[in-house]
Homo-oligomer: A and B are copies of this chain.
Amino acid sequence: MTLTITSVSIRDIRFPTSLSLDGSDAMNSAPDYSAAYVVLHTDSRDGLEGHGLTFTIGRGNEICVAAIQSLAPRIVGLSLEAITADMGAFWHDVTAGDSQLRWLGPEKGVIHLATAALVNAVWDLWAKAEGKPVWKLLTDMTPEQLVKCLDFSYVTDAITPEEAIALLRRQVPGKSRREAHLVEEGYPGYTTAPGWLGYSEEKMRRLAREAIADGWTHIKQKIGSDIEEDLRRAAILRDELGWDRTLMMDANQVWGVEESISNMRRLAAFEPWWIEEPTNPDDILGHATIRQRIKPIGVATGEHCHNRVMFKQMFQAEALDFCQLDAARLGGLNEVLIVLLMAAKFNVPVCPHGGGVGLCEYVQNISMFDYIAVSGSLDNRVLEYVDHLHEHFLDPVVIRRARYMPPKRPGYSIEMTAETLERYEYPNGPVWVDLAQRQQA
């Protein structure tokens, strides 16, 4: 099928999540989960469109929208055939082809978030054109085809295209068995439902019991506001979970290196499996130090790790026990794939960042591909699940007994309903107009 991207429309979509305390953590007390949302329009006779988004937590979403507007001309006029014939070159062109825009990063912050929305929309378009969900599009590629989608700039000291092909070939034999297993059993998830900072003890206990009843075995607690409070809340969760279920903790970057070590030594009494984002996400050496000094608690980070060069060093420095890459913080799926391959080489399990809006929809595709074709393993791997805002998607995640069931609909699972796109547009959609009127009243 020949089709050309004829135009890009961009929307500022926001959900007023700060009205409840859903999503509250030590760093982000009142987020309005938001998406800088992209639609690639094409000349396809079937009306095919590519959808993609980058996730933010409210104010500043308009800056991502501005960045997508500045970047979009690089892909308008391209045919899907030309893009997919050398997806690695396409990605390099989007991120490095305009040196004036590259200056704003390079490959980090707003311009890279914008890249993710556009690049992921291209993958959505490609998968729809092939009639497959993204995880299946990826698993059906040969190792050579997959590696051709990647840009190895600045990472060949950690992984070469030849090594990547060899890693993928190693997993070819078991692919169909693992795919069948996923379709049958799903991919294991974990929940933060009872663990948000803003919740009362009563609410924590009730949500923990519900989570256990629903089959969740891995539960994450937000910490980092106050150590005594963290200890008190960990005791409540352990009381509900018992010691056979797994408890993880997430400090959302609020500590320094020494503070992380001393606090986690106290929280060790509650046997956390990992500490997530103990300190600044740029602090590779800091994470390595923390990891050495709080074993056997694992160190997890990645949702703010901004590109493959940072993850490369996280692996080289042995800073991580769990890689929590983000589908929209990295520059879209191409860069996610190269991080998956490096993680496999360095034997670090990938447990992507879920939550927000749309992240669970994205990352289920990533983890399923990782299991089928890259790592070949479910050991030490759980996929974050947060029960917010899924109703806004055409193809929301399906959870069965705490496991993600593989999406079947073609695309990257990220297309929002037309009604949502109309109602939640900021600031002129009816939801926001109503809110503004109520706040004035």
Contacts and interface: CB of A to CB of B under 8 A. Distances in A.
Interface of A: 27-32, 56-60, 62-64, 66-67, 70, 98-113, 153-157, 253, 256-258, 279-286, 289, 304, 306-307, 309-310, 312-313, 316-317
Nearest to A96: B27
A47 to B, nearest CB: 31
Contacts of A63: 63, 66-67, 70, 104, 110-111
Contacts of A153: 256, 280
A317 B285 contact: yes
Contacts of A60: 67, 70, 100-101, 103-104, 111
Contacts of A107: 282
A23 to B, nearest CB: 11
A307 B281 CA distance: 12
Nearest to A356: B103
Given A109-B104, A310-B282, A99 B31 contact: yes
Contacts of A56: 100, 103-104
Nearest to A110: B110
Given A56-B103, A63-B110, 18 more contacts: A28-B100, A30-B99, A30-B100, A56-B104, A60-B70, A60-B100, A60-B103, A60-B111, A66-B66, A104-B109, A104-B110, A108-B109, A108-B282, A109-B306, A154-B256, A154-B257, A282-B313, A285-B316
Contacts of A32: 100
A59 B100 contact: yes
A212 to B, nearest CB: 31
Given A60-B111, A104-B56, A157-B257, A283 B67 contact: no
A279 B154 contact: yes
A106 B98 CA distance: 23
Given A111-B110, A282-B108, A313-B285, A98 B157 contact: no
Contacts of A312: 283
Nearest to A32: B100
Given A62-B66, A63-B63, A63-B110, A283 B154 contact: yes
Contacts of A66: 62-63, 66
Contacts of A99: 27-31, 57
Interface of A is mostly: loop
A110 B279 CA distance: 22
Given A100-B56, A154-B283, A286-B157, A106 B253 contact: yes
A27 B99 CA distance: 7
Contacts of A289: 157
Contacts of A154: 256-257, 279-280, 283, 286
Nearest to A34: B100
A27 B107 CA distance: 14
Contacts of A282: 107-108, 306-307, 309-310, 313
A269 to B, nearest CB: 25
Contacts of A106: 253, 280-281, 304
Max chain B Cβ within 10 angstroms of own Cβ: one of A56, A110, A113, A257:
A110
Max chain B Cβ within 10 angstroms of own Cβ: one of A32, A63, A67, A307:
A63
A178 to B, nearest CB: 33
Contact of A109 (B62, B109, B257, B309): B109
A313 to B, nearest CB: 5
A101 B59 contact: yes
A107 B110 CA distance: 11
Contact of A98 (B59, B283, B306): B59
Contacts of A101: 59-60
A20 to B, nearest CB: 16
B284 A284 contact: yes
30 contacts: A27-B102, A28-B99, A31-B100, A31-B103, A57-B103, A58-B100, A59-B100, A60-B70, A60-B100, A62-B70, A63-B66, A63-B67, A63-B104, A67-B110, A104-B113, A106-B253, A106-B280, A108-B282, A108-B306, A109-B109, A109-B112, A110-B110, A110-B111, A153-B280, A155-B256, A157-B256, A157-B289, A282-B306, A282-B307, A285-B313
